[in-house]
Amino acid sequence: MKSLTKLSLPGMGVMAALMLPLAAPANADELRWGASRDMDSLDPYSYGSTFTISTLNHAYEGLVRYDDQLKIEPALATSWEDISPTVRRFHLRKGVKFHDGAPFTADDVIASLTRVSDPKSPLRGNLPAYQGAEKIDDYTVDIKVTENYPLILNDLTNIFIFDKEWLVANNATAPTDVGAGVEGYATTHANGTGPFKVVSRKPDVETVFEVNKDWWDKPRHNIDRIVFTPIASPATAVAALLSGQIDYMEKAPLQDIPRLKQTEGVQVLASNELRTVFFLFNRAEKLVADGAKNPFNDIKVREALYRAIDIDVLQKKVMRGLSRNTGSMVAPAIPGYVTDLDERLGHDPEKAKALLAEAGYPDGFSFTMVCDNNVYVNEEEICQAVSAMWARIGLKPSLDTAPTSIQTVKFESGKFDVGILGWANEPMIDSYSILVQVAHSKTGTSGVFNWGGWKDAEVDQLIDAAAKELDREKRLALQSKALLKLKSNVDFLPLHQQPMAWALGPKVKSVVQLSDNKSRHWLTVLK
Amino acid sequence: MISMVIKRIGNAAAVMLAVAFVAFMIFQFLGDPVQLMLNEQATQAERDALRERLGLGQSFVMQFVTFVTRAMQGDFGISYRNQQEVMSLIAERFPATLELVLVSTVIALCVGIPLGVYAAIRKGSPIARLLTMFSMIGVSIPSFVIGILLILVFAVQLNWLPAFGRGDVVKFGWWSTGLLTPSGRRALIMPAASLAMFQISFIMRLVTAEMLEALRTDYVKFARARGLPNRLVHFRHALRNCLMPVVTMTGMMIGDLIAFALVTETVFQWPGMGQLFVQAVMFIDIPVMAAYLMIVSAIFVTINTIVDLTYLWVDPRLRQAGVARGYHAH
Amino acid sequence: MHIDEAGRAGRLAEWRRRLSDAWDSDLAYSFRATPMAVASALVLLIVALTAFLAPLIAVQNPYDLTQLFLDQAELPPIWNEGGASPYLLGTDVQGRDVLSAILYGSRISLLIGFASVIASMAIGIAVGLICGFAGGHVDNLLMRVGDFVLSIPTLLVAILVSAVFRELLPVNLRDAFAPVILTASIAITSWVQYARIVRASAMVEARKEYVLAARILEVRTPRILLTHILPNVMTPVLVTATLSLGLAILAEATLSFLGVGMPVTQPSLGTLIRIGNQYFFSGSWWVVLFPAFQLGLIILAVNLLGDWLRDALNPKLQ
């Protein structure tokens, strides 16, 4: 049988001889980031997802940014003042260079603001009060907003600055015109002022950042390279972290946290973040499911669904005890929050059934429930568990889960009966964000996320007044009042502030985790 | 002969056109690309404008013609999800899939053929029966289960092999290979092994069946009667004749494997075309789905046509019109 | 004896004779002589029985949301610490009893497997008969269609068909129609082999004299097809069918694993493996391993039986 073994050895040998133990010598100053999903593109003006924008913050920067205490501090702008109720003047930082060496000046700010506020720009909605900008000199820019708009700085933290010459040279002065079938240069290339530069990009596979030695700020990090790898399966990512294949995960699966914590060298930073997850209702005349009269317009029905949810068992089993149950639409750290908001309607399935009967639905009714499966923590499990709870009070939900790019389409076109949303109030870090974008009825630039068509005249009035109120105390009082009214309307079913869990491999000494759950590796220190 | 070749090629072209048509048809009905490309805050006017620009207002035939002409030039449009050219996405991923498929085929051949020969020669012996049993099991356990178990044992528990990805790759112009780096080779082992399992069983059974047939033929009996030692009989005579169908079957299976590899790529997060396709289905990224369908079908059709033509060339008996049809044993 | 009784006794004797004939036939003898075949058949029988009796013997109906209790989620099997009765094999993250889910899952996996094989057989036989009989352009066209179907890798077609149909249906019907969609997508890719077999035989038979005679006698074509031609092709068709059953079940499991098959609300074995995979490495191994074992067992048994049948009916090996 010698000849036979001669033939099969190559086959077996190929496999056996290569089973060397995993001694991967990774670059000591390299941070390998196993991300829960990929960035949508390298263009910070595309798609508007917090994850993409905050990841791109490593390469791009805005005029202002948040510091370790989530307070606004200067970034590319060093100071600012109000010239008039509608104009704010920004003084720009001198001596800043883009990654390609070009100097940062007011022209770049104007070009960027023009680009982001272009009618075709997907990120237009993040600058709702923007009216225009004017260059005063090479390092001074005036930004015009609607009268007395108090939150322009918060908005600007997420508006990153491009180099005008780079945009012009690469035909990217206008936002990417996906409709013309032309690829935008900014989708696949990056040129910012930030602490890292993008050196390679393979969508869904890997994006590599290298340190920008000419960064204007003093680095508090010691990283030379960041290798950003999206890993679709959280279980695989955990295996990779444990085996040393990656050093950092920004979305550690909750069920693996105990195992991770027990592993020597691995740190887990688990806490609650600002994002509050809640259900919302379509308030059209008819249900999407079967065209029947929409029961969700009756407050008794909404309350019934609220009371059917056993939030404690949801927290314990689905969220592994790591979420913060709440009755409020905003987290405690958000200005506008008051403790009264936090109290939930108690879990009472009997009462829920009684309410349904009172409302005229003793045998329940069918409806469609639309959830994403890749946005909020354990979103799919939450929706499955809650749909079972609703089934138990006699309702007949049909659950539809799919990636967010598909579900968002349904949300926006009103093709759902019950939907889900998680709002962090970023980048404003103020309850005005959720009020003007979610709670307000759809008028003008307000109510962009009012997917269900809910409307309360009093709430609208309060929000509009807050938009013009310069006195912070008064403004927050108006906002709290609006939130309380929403609560008594049972317009939404809040669940919890979701947990965030970062897992760090042995190579990482420290990271800075703030409640906005954004990775900030310019503050990360490796051993 | 020439006419047969032309006929075959014409056939292939017709099939490709039909594939393009189906791809185009199906994707007419799937989702609204306009919704997928614009952001939430676009107005109705903007949506209409985009629709104009995408040519969605043109007649069906015109759209199809544009679609096919562009496809032939390698222009499959822009991915809705990544906003990148589809062709460049696929080109980037293609080496990964091909490498995986080729390596697993090599492993399968190197393991499957000897084992199959053994099972034929020593038919009835306990080891042969065990081998046959293992090959049955290999065919019956889904490859994704094998993959998951491999990851559990070798990546999670033992930490010997990486849990995902391709390791470090070396680029040669457009191509990239993982075979030249240790981490690349390590990353290749489990995916190739799990993909090879099914093939090994298949090849083993095929080789055993062919060998048994060959061993029954007259010329083998004659060789034995002449007193030739067993080794010569088995290898120089019997094996050579049954290798041809095995190799051609394997060649034809490569097309199928390229598609089937998408399961392995999903389990191991192997950055190949298959994983791209599965994600495109999840996200309803229509250009990528269409492009993948057409490219993989093109590969399939090309390989089959080549094999067909090779048969025509090699076996004169098949050159008579109409006899060659139906040889494909799918 | 009364005439009826005589008739009945006669029919009874007739059946007894048929049964003993069958028992003594070559096929049955070969079956009894092959332990693998007997074992496989037994396993399949048990699986099928338990699966179809699932509503009666399972402790929980995992398709019924009201029977899922979240506080019973993620319990390990009963012999592990933390396990609780009646969840013998543990529960998954939503509170689904794994054993019940396996029983119901096997049911749907077997159903879809059988249904898709029967459907593709039906399509294939119909097409083959038409081709063989009609010949000419119809034959050409249909064979071209067959070539075309074979030109696209089967998994690809199945995924696409599944995904497309799911998208086209309104949301509340999607889960209900999922088994039908899956059956259709698997059947669409596998009818060609039957068509070719049947067509070959049909072409031969169609030229024979008895068919010509039947036509002269104005026997209707379908009758000719069914009564004369079909019986002659059934053997290879049945062998192919048995061999494809394993592939069909595997295909359904793969599609469900990828996420385009049976949904979470009516999980098949492949779906269960997909769900459990996320928790597999974290320690909840029972959600993946038991369904995987069941799936492997079913496919193995089907394949062994198919192999035996093919060998038993293979004229060359007699």
Chain A CA closest to residue C282: A256
Question: Degrees (nearest 5) of the Cα angle A347, A349, A355?
Answer: 110
- Count CA atoms closer than 13 A to A52's CA, side-chain side: 18
Q: Quote the minimal CA–CA distance from C44 to chain A in Å.
A: 33
**DSSP line for A314-371:** IIIIISTT-SEE-SSSS-TTSTT--GGGGPPPPP-HHHHHHHHHHTT-TT--EEEEEE
pLDDT at C2: 65
Cβ count near A316 (within 10 Å) = 16
A227-276 residue pLDDT tens = 999 988 888 888 889 888 899 999 999 988 988 998 889 999 999 999 99
Chain C CA closest to residue B256: C153
Average pLDDT of span C136-164: 84
Q: Whose structure tokens read 């370790």?
A: A68
Cα A60 to its chain centre, rounded Å, is 17
pLDDT at A117: 86
Average pLDDT of span C304-312: 83
Q: Is the pLDDT of residue C306 over 90?
A: no
Please report residues of C whose CB lies closer than 8 A to that of A389: 70
Average pLDDT of span B201-209: 84
List the chains bordering chain A where 3 or more Cβ pairs fall under 8 Å: B, C
Chain C CA closest to residue A370: C171
Please report residues of C whose CB lies closer than 8 A to that of B36: none
C-alpha distances in Å from residue B35, one per residue of A206, B39, B288, C160: 27, 8, 17, 21
Cα A28 to its chain centre, rounded Å, is 31
Please report residues of C whose CB lies closer than 8 A to that of A400: 171, 174
Pairing of β A366-372 and β A396-402: parallel
Question: Degrees (nearest 5) of the Cα angle B237, B239, B242?
Answer: 110
Q: Quote the minimal CA–CA distance from C148 to chain B in Å.
A: 6
pLDDT at B314: 67
Q: Is the pLDDT of residue C287 over 50?
A: yes
Q: Pick the residue with more confidence: A474 or B18?
A: A474
Chain B CA closest to residue C194: B330
* Interatomic CA distance for residues A36 and A237, integer angstroms: 8
What are C264's two structure tokens? Answer: 């979470």
Ramachandran angles phi, psi of A458, nearest 5°: -65, -45
Contact A313 C71 (CB under 8 A): yes
Ramachandran angles phi, psi of A371, nearest 5°: -130, 155
Q: Looking at this protein, which amino acid is placed at residue B126?
A: P
B250-296 residue pLDDT tens = 877 888 888 889 999 988 888 899 988 988 888 778 888 888 888 88
Average pLDDT of span C128-153: 83
Q: For chains A and B, what is the number of CB pairs under 8 angstroms?
A: 164
Cβ count near B230 (within 10 Å) = 10
pLDDT at B248: 77
pLDDT at B121: 81
List the chains bordering chain C where 3 or more Cβ pairs fall under 8 Å: A, B
pLDDT at B258: 87
Which of C175, C264, C281 lies closest to A384 in CB terms?
C264
pLDDT at B43: 59
A261 interface with C at CB cutoff 8 Å = no
What are A258's two structure tokens? Answer: 């105990």
pLDDT at B233: 65
Contact C168 B29 (CB under 8 A): yes
User: pLDDT band at residue B206, thresholds of 50, 70 and 90?
Assistant: confident
Q: Whose structure tokens read 């112009």?
A: B173
* Interatomic CA distance for residues B107 and B93, integer angstroms: 22
Contact C151 B301 (CB under 8 A): yes
Average pLDDT of span C281-298: 89
Please report residues of B whose CB lies closer than 8 A to that of C193: 330
Residues 486-525 of A with CB under 8 A from B: none
* Interatomic CA distance for residues A349 and C67, integer angstroms: 15
Contact B117 A4 (CB under 8 A): yes
Candidates B286, B284, B258; CA nearest to B272 is B258
Which of C94, C172, C277 lies closest to A398 in CB terms?
C172
* Interatomic CA distance for residues C199 and C74, integer angstroms: 53
Please report residues of C whose CB lies closer than 8 A to that of B297: 151-153, 156
Which of B11, B19, B263 lies closest to C258 in CB terms?
B263
Lowest-pLDDT range of A486-490, B131-135, B240-244, C297-301: B240-244
Handedness of CA B128, B130, B131, B132 (dihedral sign): positive
Asked if B211 and B121 count as a contact pair (C-beta separation under 8 A), the reply is: yes
Please report residues of A whose CB lies closer than 8 A to that of C68: 388
Please report residues of B whose CB lies closer than 8 A to that of C304: 136
* Interatomic CA distance for residues C156 and C159, integer angstroms: 5
pLDDT at B261: 92
Burial (CB < 10 A; 0-12, 13-18, 19+), residue A26, is middle
> Which runs of consecutive H residues, i.e. helices, occur in C53-86?
54-57
pLDDT at C151: 78
Q: Is the pLDDT of residue B166 over 80?
A: yes
Average pLDDT of span C176-202: 88
Contact C282 A259 (CB under 8 A): yes
The segments of chain A whose pLDDT lies below 70 read: 1-28, 47-48, 122, 125, 177-183
Which of C277, C302, C304 lies closest to B148 in CB terms?
C277
Average pLDDT of span C27-54: 86
List the chains bordering chain B where 3 or more Cβ pairs fall under 8 Å: A, C
Q: Which of A257, A320, A374, A398 to mutate to test the interface with C (most CBs of C within 10 A)?
A: A398
- The set of residues, in sequence order, having a beta carbon less than 8 Å from that of C104 and lying 6+ positions away, is C51, C54, C58, C61, C62, C63, C266, C267
Contact A3 B50 (CB under 8 A): no
Please report residues of B whose CB lies closer than 8 A to that of C155: 259-260, 262-263
C-alpha distances in Å from residue B71, one per residue of B24, B58, B75, B93: 11, 18, 5, 18
What are A126's two structure tokens? Answer: 């993040």
* Interatomic CA distance for residues B276 and B266, integer angstroms: 9
Average pLDDT of span C56-70: 86
pLDDT at A3: 44
- Count CA atoms closer than 13 A to B157's CA, side-chain side: 9
* Interatomic CA distance for residues A491 and A489, integer angstroms: 5
Q: What is the ipTM of this complex?
A: 0.81
**DSSP line for C133-202:** HH-HHHHHHHHHHHHHHHHS-HHHHHHHHHHHHHHHS-HHHHHHHHHHHHHHHHHHHHSHHHHHHHHHHH
C47 interface with B at CB cutoff 8 Å = no
Chain A CA closest to residue C72: A317
Asked if A287 and A275 count as a contact pair (C-beta separation under 8 A), the reply is: no
Ramachandran angles phi, psi of C275, nearest 5°: -60, -45
pLDDT at A368: 93
Q: Quote the minimal CA–CA distance from C176 to chain B in Å.
A: 20
Which of A234, A253, A398 lies closest to C175 in CB terms?
A398
Please report residues of C whose CB lies closer than 8 A to that of A401: 264
C83-103 residue pLDDT tens = 787 888 889 888 899 999 999
Q: Pick the residue with more confidence: A433 or C20?
A: A433
B62-99 residue pLDDT tens = 778 887 888 888 888 777 777 678 888 888 889 999 99
Contact A125 B156 (CB under 8 A): no
Chain B CA closest to residue A122: B39
- The set of residues, in sequence order, having a beta carbon less than 8 Å from that of C106 and lying 6+ positions away, is C47, C50, C51, C54, C269, C294, C298
A381 interface with C at CB cutoff 8 Å = yes
Q: Quote the minimal CA–CA distance from C245 to chain B in Å.
A: 11
C152-175 residue pLDDT tens = 888 888 888 888 787 777 766 777
Contact B26 C156 (CB under 8 A): no
pLDDT at A19: 40
Chain A CA closest to residue C284: A255
* Interatomic CA distance for residues B7 and B3, integer angstroms: 6
What are A253's two structure tokens? Answer: 């699966």
User: DSSP 3-state assignment of A309?
Assistant: coil
For chain C, helix, strand, coil in percent to 5 are 80, 0, 20
Contact A236 B164 (CB under 8 A): yes
Contact B164 A120 (CB under 8 A): no
Please report residues of A whose CB lies closer than 8 A to that of B85: 183
Q: Indicate the DSSP class of residue B85.
A: B
Contact A40 B82 (CB under 8 A): yes
Average pLDDT of span B150-155: 86
pLDDT at B73: 84
Contact B269 A449 (CB under 8 A): no
Ramachandran angles phi, psi of B49, nearest 5°: -60, -45
Q: Indicate the DSSP class of residue A146.
A: S
**pLDDT averaged over every residue in chain B:** 79
pLDDT at B326: 39
